Amino acid sequence: MGNNSGRRRIKAALSGNVTKIAVAAAAIVVSAGLVSITVVQAGERQNPTSAYTPRPFVSASPSVSCDPGDPNLARAAAAYKSAPSDFHVAVLGDSTRDESAAGVALMTSLRQEFAGADVRSFGRNGFPLSRYADETGIRDAVREYQPDVIELSIGINDFRQGRGDVDTFTDEMVDYVNTLSQENPDADIILSVPAALSTVNVGDANYLTGSNGRVNPDGLAQDITQQLRAAYTTASQRLEGIALLDVQQAITGTDADASPSPVFLRDQIHPNDKTAASVAALIADRVGDSCA
């Protein structure tokens, strides 16, 4: 974890095949936190009804010999380095973090990244933050677990049915994270921005519904994608000592995916196994300590 092999795992997790006609010759280097990312643009997909250009895959291309990790996660890094078998990772959020729902791949990948550690899911399928934060049973269970690091990703259900707004959600996020910090004073906290959504109603699941009840109205997937990223960014700025993992910047991009078969998602809102593995690898690198 946190060394060159960790970065190779990101590359492996993000590599894959996309149906394409040609591959563009140019490569772009962008910054994603502490990882140098090379973006390779796939060529345009043959589609007589759409000019959609497939979203690029991302692969890690480290430009430094070691990854010092995030200073806001220094306690977690030290705890894992000193006693991996006593290290506790608490994963909080909605269905994307619920091991009994769409969070299975993420939990499996996190256990591989944090070898020997105890990684536990506290996710709840379908929960918005407004409900999740009020569940004292979840908070009590997290506190009794005594986590070394808490990873939180939630919010899709606050916006996906035409309810909620950025300011209210941000305030709720700040209040909830402050509560988590008070109840778990020895835990470092990571806020993970949810992945960009898809504009395509995959499998007619009707996950996105406007305030007027219309299913998947034009622009809603992009609006929610932007709203979530804005809320997480603002919340992290208002909170002290909290690590922000910008999954959109690092993996999925900030534009809602318009491909008929989403590149990074299993449906309209849930990350696929490859994306889950990439998120787990990035979390592990953010808790990296190979320069220590």
* Domain residue spans of the chain: 67-286
pLDDT band, very low/low/confident/very high, at 173 (cuts 50, 70, 90): very high
Rounded-to-integer distance, Cα 194 and Cα 160, Å: 12
* pLDDT for position 74: 94
**Sheet strand arrangement including 188-192:** 118-121, 88-93, 149-153, 188-192, 243-245
Range with the poorest average pLDDT among 5-9, 108-112, 226-230, 233-237: 5-9
Residue keyed to tokens 């960014």: 233
Rounded-to-integer distance, Cα 211 and Cα 94, Å: 21
Which CATH architecture is the domain 67-286 placed in? 3-Layer(aba) Sandwich (3.40)
Number of Cβ within a 10 Å radius of residue 18: 15
* pLDDT for position 52: 31
Rounded-to-integer distance, Cα 252 and Cα 235, Å: 21
* pLDDT for position 68: 62
Whether pLDDT at 63 is above 70: no
pLDDT band, very low/low/confident/very high, at 65 (cuts 50, 70, 90): very low
Give per-residue pLDDT as tens, 187-213. 999 999 999 999 999 999 999 999 889
* pLDDT for position 208: 96
pLDDT band, very low/low/confident/very high, at 163 (cuts 50, 70, 90): confident
Cβ contact 212:162 at 8 Å: yes
Whether pLDDT at 14 is above 50: no
Cβ contact 11:282 at 8 Å: no
Q: Would you state the structure tokens that stand for residue 248, as one six-digit string? A: 């959109």
pTM of the predicted structure, to 2 decimals? 0.78
**Quick one: CA torsion of 211, 212, 216, 221, rounded to 10 degrees?**
-30
For residue 245, give the nearest of 93, 53, 101 by alpha carbon. Answer: 93
* pLDDT for position 1: 56
Give per-residue pLDDT as tens, 119-129. 999 999 999 99
Three-state secondary structure of the chain: CCCHHHHHHHHHHHCCCCCCCCEEEEEEEEEECCEEEEEEEECCCCCCCCCCCCCCEEEECCCCCCCCCCHHHHHHHHHHHHCHHHCEEEEEECHHHCCCCCCHHHHHHHHHHCCCCEEEECCCCCCCHHHHCCCHHHHHHHHHHCCCEEEEECCHHHHCCCCCCHHHHHHHHHHHHHHHHHHCCCCEEEEECCCCCECCCHHHCCCCECCCCCECCCCHHHHHHHHHHHHHHHHHHHCCCCEEECHHHHHHCCCCECCCCCCCECCCCCECHHHHHHHHHHHHHHCCCCCC
* pLDDT for position 243: 97
Question: What is the pLDDT averaged over residues 228-232?
Answer: 98
pLDDT band, very low/low/confident/very high, at 55 (cuts 50, 70, 90): very low
Give per-residue pLDDT as tens, 247-269. 999 999 999 999 999 999 999 99
Range with the poorest average pLDDT among 126-130, 161-165, 276-280: 161-165
